Amino acid sequence: MLMATPRGILRSRCRIPGSLNELLTHLNNELVEDTGADRFMTMLLMTIDARRGEMRWVTAGHDVPIIYDPAEESFIELAGNGMSLGLKKGVVYKEHLYTDVRPGQVYMALTDGLFETFNKKGEMFGKDRVRKLIRDFANQSASKIIDRINVELSRFLGGTRPDDDLTFVIVKVL
């Protein structure tokens, strides 16, 4: 039920013009009414406009996106955070802007369950492994990068069942 509420709020509110931070601020204020002090959620909202060369994002307790630029052979480090959703009414979220979106770049939005998952040996998958996989397969399409990460994750887990969700989205700018 906790996930159904924000989905409904987002679907109804996104039809009204406004910024990502206004959307997340509204969502938080509505969600506080439905959650107790022990329940919260994290969220990342982001848009990529390749024509304008811009990415906008706002986060509520969620990791910032990972950006890999194969032309520079480097990862772009973003900053920005915000309180998790549902904890306190009146929180105003801040929208961030990245203005160097270029063809070939790979963008990844992910939950912490991906990099914080453990195998049978007690080893964590880790952000370094995620970054290495993005770098290794950046010359492929977004769907192929996703496939390769899933293959490596499955191999790493070796049949171990993860404790958390393993959600991620890859966008490759054309």
Closest CA to 127 of 82, 69, 64, 57: 64
Tell me the per-residue pLDDT of 70-105, one tens digit each, with 9 for 90 and over.
Answer: 999 999 999 989 999 999 999 999 999 999 999 999
Which pLDDT belongs to residue 119? 95
- 8 Å CB contact between 66 and 134: yes
pTM of the model: 0.92
Chain centroid offset of residue 136 CA: 20
- Inter-residue contact 112 to 81 (CB < 8 Å): no
